[in-house]
Every structure is written in structure tokens, then in C-alpha cells.
Structure 1
Amino acid sequence: MCGIVGIIGKSKVAPLLVEGLRRLEYRGYDSAGLATLVNGHIDRRRARGKLINLEKLLVEQPMEGVIGLGHTRWATHGIPNETNAHPHATKYAAVVHNGIIENYLDLRAELTAAGHVFESETDTEAVVQLISHYLAEGASPEEATAKMLKRVEGAFALGIIFAGRSDLMIAARRGSPLAIGYGDGEMYLGSDALALAPLTQKISYLADGDWAVLTCDSVSIRDAHGNPVVREVKQTAFSGAMIGKGEHRHFMHKEIYEQPQVIGDTLNTMFNPVSRTFSLPDLPFALSGIDRVTIIACGTSYYAGMVAKYWIEQLARVSVEVDIASEFRYRAPAMPKGGLALFISQSGETADTLAALRYCQAQGQHIISLVNVPESTMARESEVALQTVAGPEIGVASTKAFTTQLTALACLSLVLARARGAIDHATEERLSKVLIEVPARVAEVLAHDERLREIAEDIMDARDVLYLGRGTSYPIALEGALKLKEISYIHAEGYAAGEMKHGPIALIDETVPVIVIAPSDELYDKTASNVQEVVARGGRVIFLSDEKGVARLGARAVSLVLPNVDPFVAPILYAIPVQLLAYHVAVAKGTDVDQPRNLAKSVTVE
């Protein structure tokens, strides 16, 4: 959620900190700030709103210092304003924080009674006040930090600098991700590797519970028990060029257009060109013995899991439960040992999903994660980590991450079906072939971009929009509605088409656009009947189907003709037009497409 950047450098760090924060804008934020040391004293600049407001302030009030911290905040405790913006500071230290300090009220009351004066409404200020309390008692920065870590409860990533110590920065994580970058006589701190890409490609990731002491040329790390540890330094593939928009107006549009490439890249990680089949990395357990699958995710990833439920149950003949991570573990479900728990997360750091993963581990489940960040906490804590090769996704509304998740899940479904002997070789070969063809078909769908822009103009003024679909098209209807809500702020709902007569049909009149996802499959006729019911009540139908499906419906809807594909891969293809439709509606309405209000890219707190 929030973004953290820290630098111990050789020259003025403020411009580099701002650049790092700019690379973290995709995570979502409502204020930003910097803290540096100038002649041993803490200097701060903070501003509400977008990063440009902080940049304007820095023009008026430049910052010196070769050590500093930067932060973009997404409000949890306290309204978005300058006082609540990070870094929080006293005369002793400055702190930036991602996460939630659960016992901050108790700490605040204790410290207030001891004479400390709080300025903000945030939970974070309790951290810097507690550190300052120990420093005032004569503790060293390392000792004060160790004492603080024993007192605070919750999930956090912390960056800390100390007055009078331009050679020292301390980092700590519990639940929220944090990376350390290695330079030539410089050290860096970041919420993720992308923030540090222009500065270094040598990265290590702190494990949960770690805290680290950084100087300009070294780092020492201790685990949650205070024991010295060494974390592997890796070469990251991120580069400064990877976050440019190219010729596209928005990151979201660029990322939609990257889908043929990234879907192909994801397929190539699992495809065996000799056997013309798909395979997974070596597993420490046998898929043939799996008779129950539990899929857990949030948001768009949850909808990908819903599609996978259809695939796995139909192809592998395995019972599948799909659950929202934020609800799953609070049910404390019984889970017979030996089942497979599959976790889907773009970042691999989603707090609710990670907590559910740990619950399933305790229940004796085999753990597979599907992530876009192979170094993420979720990947490290899984028996097997499958990777989507989507590359950095900057737009908050997920596009290429979703379709690469679907792609990987389709591959997994085929592999599981083969391992269980549920499909014959001819069927596997046919479905593998149509899956390999998906990148080319996606490119064909992108050719309809201009037509979707025209359709978007017809619905941009709608107050409510309904999406309908059956079978694997139902989760795509849900995803389409989510995309429209996220970036255009139009109220939209997705429904299983068969459920329309059980309530939603009451909403339909000439002002309500109804977007129908209906490839020509065994469910087409039933969906077409639902469309007739909408038309009969004056509804404005936008019909997404292939040539055969559109021809059968006649002129009773605004239609978009998509490529004729096997029903197995249709969900991947039909995700593209609902993404583009939401994008063009948002552009027409003038909303902030890449950074919609109130949303964060990665939800790392509950």
C-alpha cells in the first residue's frame, strides 16, 4: 500500500528519493513526504495529495542531506493532510511506516503520560515517540529500535533515521515487504525492487521479523529473535525503462496492449515444445493424489480463481472451493490433510491472502502460490511458487496480471487433469494447442480498441451498469463490473445470467446498459434468452460474442464481434474488451485512470 524509499548516499538524496516515490505511485497514496539530515538535524517536507505538490514545495524549500527517507501514504489512521503525512519525527529520529500498529492507542497513552507530545492522529507516530523515549534514556539507535520492536504489535515495514547519525539507517519488517539495495558506497531501502531500479539491481529481501542496520557500505541483519542472519543478494531484472508509458496515454492502456507478449511469456515458462504439453516445476507432492483444491485470493485474483474452479472441476474432476481471503480464515474451516491450497496474488504480499496461506499450512495442506513477484513473501513460504511473467504492473486496476493469472491457471488445470488421468492425450493436445494460440487471438481483440471507445461514449453517463455471463463468463462479468467501478466510479454489478430473474431484472430500463459476455458455447442459448428478456424491458444491451453468436442475436443489441475460440480459452480473450471498455469510459469521464481514488495497488494491511 504505502511506498517507502531510503538512501544513504554520497550526494544530495532528495531528488533521488522523489524519483523513487514516483516509481511507487502505482501503489496508491494520498500524501507524500521526505526527511533528511542536515548538519545532524532532521529536516522534513510533507504535502497532501499527489507527488507534484511535494515537488513544488521542494522547489520553494530545497532539501540538503546525503541520507534520507521518502514516503507515500495511503490513509488508515487519520485523514489525509500534511500533519498526518509521513515521515513522522521528533528531535531524535524520523520514521516512515507501511502497515498498521495495532496497539498504538495503548502506546500513545503510555507515552503521553510520560510527557511526550503527539502531533498527528496516526498509529505511526507511536513508533517514533517510543524510539525517542528510549534514545532520551541513553539507548543507542540499535538498542532503542530493538526495544521498540519488542513493544509494537501489528504489521509493518519501517525505515528509521537518527539525528546526529548521517552514517546510519535502520529498517524492519513484520508482515509488510521491504527490500535492501546495494550500491557503490551507497545503500538503499525500498518497498519493492521497482522503487530502486534506477539506483541498483542488487537486491536482498528482508524475511518476516527481520531488522537491518544500514551504513553507506554495509548491512547487518538480525532475525525476529535477534540472531545475526544473512539474506541472499539477488540480481533483479527491473530496469528504469520498464515503467515508461511509451506511446500510450496511460499505464493501464500500455499494460492492456502488453498482454499478447506477457501471456506468451507466461505460457513459455510451462510449455514443453517437444511434447507439446504443459508442465509445472518439480513438486514435492504428487498431483495424482489431490482430491480437493481450495483457491484463495482477493479482488481480481479471486475472479481468476473462480474461472479456475470451472476449469479444474470440468477437466480434472476435482472438487474446488474458492474463497475470499479476508473471509476464509475467520471461518476456521476444517481442512482434511493432504488437500491442495492454491493462493493467487499479483504482489505476493497481500495481507489477507498471506494470513490464509499460513492457516492452510497449519492445517496440513500442500501449498502452491501464483504470484507475479518471485521474491515475494508468499512465494518464499509456499512449497511451489508459480510465476506470472507480467512484468511490473503500474496501473492500479489489474489488467495483464489478471490475464496472465488465467493463463497460468489454465496450464495448471491441464497438468492436474493429466496427473489424475481425467483427460486423454488427444484432449490434452487439443486444449494445449488452443492455449498456445491465445497471444495471437488477444492481438486480434486489441484491434477492436477504437470500436470499444465508441461504445464507451454511449455508457459514460450511465448511473448503473449490469454485466451478465454464464459459466466461465460469469467471473468475467464480475471482473468487468469491478474494472468499471474502480476507474470510472460508475456503479456496476456482475451477475450470473441465470440469476437475472431472481432480482436484478427489476433494475432494467432504458437508462441501464447491460453488458453481456456470451461466447458461442454450450451455454450460449440460455444467455441469449436472458438478452431477449433485457431487450423486452427496454434495456440497452452491449453484446460481446463471436461472429456466430452475434449473427444469431440479430440487430437487437450493440455488438462486438470477437475471434471464434475454443470455450476453454474464451475467458482470457473476453477479459480484454471489458478492460478496454472500462478504460475508455474512465478516459471519457476524465477520472485518474492509473491512480483511482481511494485505491492502492497492493493491500498489505488487513
Structure 2
Amino acid sequence: MCGIVGIVGNSKAADILVKGLEKLEYRGYDSAGIFVADSSTDHLVKSQGRIKDLKGKIDSSVQGKIGIGHTRWATHGEPSEQNAHPHTSENGRFVLVHNGVIENYDELKKIFLESDHFYGETDTEIAVHLVEYFSKQGLDTKEAFKQAVAEIRGSYAFGLIDKEDRTVIYVAKNKSPLLIGLGEGFNVVCSDAMAMLEQTNQFVEINDGEIVIVTKDSVQIEDQTGTIIERSPYEAKIDLSDMEKGTYPYYMLKEIDEQPATMRRIISEYTDETGAVAVDQELLTSLLASDRIYIIACGTSYHAGLASKQIIEQLSQIPVEAHLSSEFGYNMPLLSQKPFFIFLSQSGETADSRQVLVKTSEMGYPSLTITNVAGSTLSREATYTMLLHAGPEIAVASTKAYTAQIAVLTVLAKAVGEAKDVLSAKSFDLPMELGIAANAMDVMINEKELISQLAIDYLSTTRNAFYIGRSEDYYVSMEAALKLKEISYIQAEGFAAGELKHGTIALVEDGTPVIGIITEAVTAPHTRGNLREVESRGAHTLVIVSEELSKEGDQIILPVVHQFLRPLVSVIPGQLIAYFATLERGYDVDKPRNLAKSVTVE
């Protein structure tokens, strides 16, 4: 959600900022803007809509060596040019961009800024006015910025420029991601390393509560007491080619196609030279000492946690609970004596999950983050990290991160089970079976023509649709329904098939699409019975079924894989159905309305 870029010391600042914002489009936004300045002139350009709309307003006169840019996802005030960032102080001296939510903005306005005139309706404008307020009290810019930050409650990542000193970008963060990139004769600021990889691969992390003074030749980090902090940069190991669509029309299709390769990469990353599963020994020791695993996640990651619950329990013989971060943080259940927390997050920046991590860490409990982004906040702050090795995921609708999370959780469960000498883990050859699953995923991905036609036949005009299944098929149904609703805007829900008669079947009428997922032998007859029940009410049914359970007339047949890995394969048709239904309806597959890739505010 929202994106920040900044640069100081490069004469091509405007071009670099715009290219950086384009790299952040995946995060979700509704307006954008840049501020660029040189020693004597400055330019503020803002636009509602897409980056292309902003680019249309930037002419050759917009030049400078310092600048900040922003993509905004509305939280306070409607999407508009007035509410777009960057924002200026009342006298125009200070210019600021902001990610996050200022919780006490109304209070600050009443205490300090009651006589100020505001251009828009955002909490961010309060922040930049507050810097000006303290500057007028006689503080220099750094101290005025620090004082403003000290008064603010909530989440923020700030980039500030003072027009009276066009050589410095002032930076601060709390709960929102922000990085400093180191260049040759220039330095950059960004909320995601991908935004500035064309300029540098050397980045410095910023911790909550720190103030950073960035010039073209230096980066000075201070804590809240003014003590200077020395911190070495890290190298962002992201291949720029992975971030491009190449010949694909949309990132989502590319990322669906990349899933088999991701499975094979996970095998490579988490096996040793003998082919045995290899996991950090300290992590294993901590897990072996636990009596219950709590998986904390949101959205697609939560569904991956649900789909992995039985796998982990059967392989490790440790009870598992999966919880929504946004619920768990404020309504924590009674915990076991020795809990272990696993946080699932594609970005590693999910705000709801982070607030749970902060609380459980304060309670002294060990934690593991499973994420796609090395060096992300959840990764840095958890006790342990396992990477997904899925490569950048750009489309808002997550696909390869979901299957990678299930695969990595299975790796972890296998390692724990082997350490405990659990029979099911010992008899499960994960590298071999994951390779078979990768091949099966390839088979399903190659069924695009069939699935495209089914999407047209079933979902071209419908307002709503249902996925149903039992056990793990229910959890996959939830994820498949989420994919469909978030990009095609069809009101889609995933239900436990046995619960239909307890209310939901009342919504079924003539032509309602009901998609059944069947991969488990013991529940297959029951789910087929539920499909017949909805058919008798007029439903238009579609069956996704494992080959060994298939019958004549079933539309999508899944290759046989090990029972622990069935969710990796059964979700592929749901991903493709959502993709082709969205194309049929004429919507943007990668950038669905109202959604953001990385949800960095609670």
C-alpha cells in the first residue's frame, strides 16, 4: 500500500523517480506525484489515476538533482489530485511524502494547527504542517522534523525536503517499510528495494524510531536520543529480469507459470548434498521444544496456513492452529505452555501480522517468519526466517507465494518429523514427491485452453459463484474463491461442502456456478452428493477432481500426487479460472480496484 521513492545527487531525478514509482505500481494506488528541485527551481506534479497520467503532466522543464515521489492508496480523503502526495506546508517551504496512518492527526490539528489552511483532507498534510510549526518555533529542520515525529502516533514512513536546503532528504519510519539505497555520488530512498534496483543493489535498513539524514555523499542514522547509529548495507539479490513481464500480457499469468520452477527451487534450497531435507538446527531445536504451533497470517497467506495445518500435524505430530492476524492481535486466545509462532507473509511487511509478532516477542515466545523478501521487517524481527525463494511477485493476486508457503511449511514439518522419528515423516520422500507435484502443476498449467473456455462458459455474466470442498479441499476452495472475487469482482465464496444445507444453499438459484474440488477419497462421495443437491436447485456445477477419483463428465482432472501435496495442484485451476474470468470481463488482472499488494497499515 502506497510507495515512496526519493533521490539526492542525480541530475536525472525526475526520470528516476517516475521509473521507481512504476516499479511500485504493484503495491496498489489511486494517485501519484513527484517533487523535484535544483538549486533555484522546483516542480510539484501530482495526478489522480495511474502513473501514465502523471507522466503525461511531466514535461522537459521538470528537472532537478533532488526529489521525492509517491503512489497513494487512499485512507484519509478520497482519491484526488488535492489529496495526492507530495504535500507541502502552509508557507510551501517543506515538502513531504508519507506511507501509513497517523492515528492522532485530528488531535494534532486542534493542538498545533487550528489556524492553518489545508489544501486537502489527508493526515499527511497535518504532518508537514507540523514540521513547519516547530520550525517557526526556532528549531532547525532536523530538530523540527524530530519534534513532529515525536508528537505523531501511528504508522509512518516519511521523506521530507526543505526548500531552503536542497541537498538533504530527511527520513523517518515507524511500522512502515523504508530503505536507503547507496549510489555513486548519489543516494536514494524507497519503500521497496525493487523500486531502485536500476540505481543500486546496496541498501541500508532503517529501524522504527530512527531519523535519517540523506545527502548525495552520506547517510546519517540517529536514534531518538540523537546517538548516531552505524549500520552496514546489505546486497539486494533480486534479478531485474524477474521483475519484467517479458512476453506475458500480465504478471499474474507469468507468476502462475513460475510455480513449478519455484517448487524445484525450494527442493534445491532446502536439501543438502545427500538429498536430505536441511533446515536450521536452532530452528528445529526450538520447534521440538514447543507444544503447539500458531500460524499467523492474512488473506492468501492465511489460506496457505489452513491448507498446511494437517500436513504439519501429520508430519511433525505437533498440534497446529491457524489464525487471522487482525483478529489474533486484539483477541489473543488462551495459549499453550510452550507456543511457537509462524508468520506467513509474501512481503514480510504485513502490518497486522507485525503487531502480533511484537506482542508475542514481548511475551518471550520464539517465532519464525516465512516470507519472500529477505531483510523485510517480519524477517528481521522474528527469531528465525525461512525464505520462499519464489522471486518477485508483482500481481496483486498472490499465486506462487501461496504454493511456495505450503511447500516451505511442508519442508519444515518434514524436518521436525524426522528429528522426532515420526513414521509418516520418515516414509515421506519430500524431494521426490515435490518434484512429482511440480510436474503435475506443469500439466495443469498447460490446460489453459480448457480452463479458459470453462471460465467463459460458467462466469461470463454471473454475479456470484461458490467453491465447495471438504477438509483440505475446503481450504483450497477458500483460496480459489478469493482469487476469483479479488480480480473479477464476482461475489465468490468458498464453503465447506457439508455446511451448504445449514444456510448457504438458500443462495443457490438457476444458473449459479458451483465449483466442487474433490481430492480426498473418504469425503469424495459426500462432496459429490452436495453437488447433486445444488444441481437440483438449478446450480451450474463444475468439478475439479483428482484422476483416481474422477468420473465421466468431470471437467478438470488433476494428476495424482502425494496426499500432503494435493493443495499445490488443486489450486492451479482456481487461479487460472480467476485469471480467464477477469479477462473475459475486461478488467485489469494485475491491478484490481481498491486492493494493494502489500498491506502495511492495520
Counterpart in 2 of 1:408?
A: 408
Going from structure 1 to structure 2, the CA distance change for 1:164 and 1:425 (only over 3 Å counts) comes to closer
Pairing 1:567–2:563 present? yes
8-17 or 166-175: bigger deviation: 8-17
Does 1:73 pair with 2:72? yes
Residue 85 of structure 1 aligns with an amino acid whose one-letter code is A
- 2:276 is aligned to 276
The alpha-carbon deviation at position 108 of structure 1 amounts to 1.3
Contact 2:277 2:411 in 1 (8 A): no
Alignment partners' CA distance in 2, 1:561 and 1:342: 33
Q: Does 1:448 align with 2:444?
A: no
Contact 1:336–1:363 at 8 Å: present in 2 too? Answer: no
1:603 correspondence with 2:602: no
2:582 corresponds to which residue? 586
User: 1:532 offset after TM fit, Å?
Assistant: 2.3
Matching of residues 55-66 of structure 1 within 5 Å = 55-59=55-59, 62-66=61-65
Q: Alpha carbons of 1:328 and 1:426: their partners in 2 closer, same or farther (altered >3 Å)?
A: closer
Q: Cα offset for 1:548?
A: 2.9
- 1:277 partner SS: coil
* Residues 469 and 518 in structure 1, CA contact (< 8 A), matched pair in contact too: yes
Partner of 2:371: 371
Indicate yes or no: 2:525 matched with 1:530: no
Offset of 1:329 from its aligned partner? 1.7
Residue equivalent to 2:293: 293
Please say if residues 521 and 549 of structure 2, whose CA atoms lie closer than 8 Å, have aligned partners that are also in contact.
no
Inter-CA distance 263–80: structure 2 relative to 1 (3 Å threshold): same
Q: Which residue of 2 aligns with 1:136?
A: 136
Contact 1:42 1:93 in 2 (8 A): no
TM-superposed CA distance for 1:12, in Å, is: 3.0
Q: How far off its partner does 1:38 sit?
A: 4.2
In structure 1, how many angstroms separate the alpha carbons of the residues matched to 2:428 and 2:549? 26
Which residue pairs with 2:341 in the alignment?
Answer: 341
* 2:94 match: 93
1:8-47 equivalences under 5 Å are 8-40=8-40, 42-47=42-47
Structure 1 pair 298–457 and aligned structure 2 pair: CA distance change class (3 A): same
Separation of aligned partners in 2, 1:426 and 1:207: 42
Contact 1:350 1:605 in 2 (8 A): yes
Deviates more, 1:514-523 or 1:301-310: 514-523
Is the 1:162–1:168 Cα contact (8 Å) retained in structure 2?
Answer: yes
Deviation sequence 1:375-411 (CA, Å, 0-9, x none):
0111111111011011111100101111111111111
CA distance, structure 2, for counterparts of residue 278 and residue 220 of structure 1: 39
Q: Which letter maps to 2:113?
A: T
Check conservation: 2:100, 2:176, Cα contact below 8 A: yes
Q: CA deviation at 1:227?
A: 1.9
Residue 426 of structure 1, CA deviation: 4.6
Deviations 1:289-345 (A, max 9, x none): 222111110000000110121112233232222110001021133324421111111
Q: How far 1:164 moved relative to its partner?
A: 2.2
CA 1:64 to 1:138, structure 2 compared with 1: closer, same or farther past 3 Å? Answer: farther
CA contact (8 A) 1:40 1:164 kept: no
Output aligned runs, 1:112-127, within 5 Å.
112-113=113-114, 115-127=115-127
**What is the letter of the counterpart of residue 487 of structure 1?**
I
Secondary structure in 2 aligned to 1:58? coil
Q: Give how far 1:247 is off.
A: 1.0
Q: Aligned ranges for residues 96-175 of structure 1 at < 5 Å? A: 96-113=97-114, 115-175=115-175
Deviation of 1:567 after TM superposition, in Å, equals 1.6
Distance in 2, Cα, partners of 1:111 & 1:400 = 48
State the shift of 1:441 in Å: 1.7
Runs ≥4 residues deviating over 6 A: none
State the Cα deviation string for residues 543-588 of structure 1 (Å, max 9, x = none).
Answer: 111333222xx33x5x111211122111011111100110000011
Q: Against the structure 1 CA distance between its residues 425 and 368, is the aligned structure 2 distance closer, same or farther, given a 3 Å change threshold?
A: closer
Give the 3-state SS of the residue equivalent to 1:418 in structure 2: helix
Question: Which residue number in structure 2 is paired with residue 237 of structure 1?
Answer: 237
Distance 2:208 2:462 in 1: 46
TM-score (norm 1): 0.96
Whole-angstrom distance in 1 between the partners of 2:592 and 2:23: 16
Spell out the pairing of 1:168-567 with structure 2 (5 A cutoff): 168-280=168-280, 282-283=282-283, 285-423=285-423, 426-429=426-429, 431-458=430-457, 459-551=459-551, 554-555=552-553, 557=554, 559-567=555-563
Structure 2: which amino acid aligns with 1:571? P
CA distance in 2, matches of 1:281, 1:249: 43
* Unaligned segments of structure 1, at least 5 residues: none
Q: Structure 1 pair 511/200, CA: closer, same or farther in 2 (3 Å)? A: same
Give the residue type in structure 2 aligned to 1:137: Q
Whole-angstrom CA distance in 1 between matches of 2:425 and 2:47: 61
* 1:239 positional shift: 4.0
CA deviation string 1:519-555 (max 9, x = no partner): 253322222222222233332111111333222xx33
Q: Aligned partners of 2:514 and 2:10: how far apart in 1? A: 59
Once the two structures are superposed, what CA deviation does each residue of 1:255-297 show, in whole Å capped at 9, x if it has no partner? 1111111222123221235153353454284432222111110
Q: SS of the residue aligned with 2:601? A: coil
User: Secondary structure at 1:476's aligned position in 2?
Assistant: helix
Give the 3 Å change call, closer, same or farther, for CA 108–351 of structure 1 in structure 2: same
Q: Give the distance between the partners of 1:225 and 1:269, measured in 2 at CA.
A: 42
Equivalent residues of 2:418, 2:426 under 8 A apart: no
CA distance in 1: counterparts of 2:332 and 2:478, whole angstroms: 27
Counterpart CA distance in 2 for 1:239 and 1:136 is: 46
Counterpart contact for 1:396–1:601, Cα < 8 Å:
yes
Q: 1:369 to 1:583 in 2, by over 3 A?
A: same
* SS across alignment from 1:595: coil
Aligned partner of residue 57 in structure 2, secondary structure: helix
Tell which deviates more after alignment, 25-34 or 369-378. 369-378
Do the aligned residues in 1 keep the contact of 2:251 with 2:590 (CA within 8 Å)?
A: yes
Q: TM-score, normalised by structure 2?
A: 0.96
Mapped to 2, the partners of 1:581 and 1:453 lie a distance apart of 7
More displaced stretch, 262-271 vs 148-157: 262-271
Residues 221 and 229 in structure 1, CA contact (< 8 A), matched pair in contact too: yes
The structural deviation recorded for 1:423 is 2.3
CA distance in 2, matches of 1:603, 1:19: 22
Identity of aligned residues (%): 39
Following the alignment from structure 1 to structure 2, what is the Cα–Cα distance between the partners of residues 470 and 281? Answer: 36
Query: CA offsets per residue over residues 336-372 of structure 1, 9 Å max, x none?
Result: 4421111111111101100011111223322111111
How many residue pairs were aligned?
599
AA paired with 2:441?
A: V
Change (3 A) 1:239 1:565: closer
When residues 435 and 284 of structure 1 are mapped into structure 2, their CA distance, relative to the original with a 3 A threshold, is closer
Whether the 8 Å CA contact 1:67–1:166 is kept in 2: the answer is yes
CA contact (8 A) 2:8 2:188 kept: yes
Which amino acid in 1 is paired with 2:488? S
- Segments of structure 2 that go 5 or more residues without pairing to the other structure are none
The Cα offsets for residues 488-533 of structure 1, whole Å up to 9 and x where unpaired, read as: 0000000011112212222223321111111253322222222222
> What's the CA shift for 1:46?
0.5
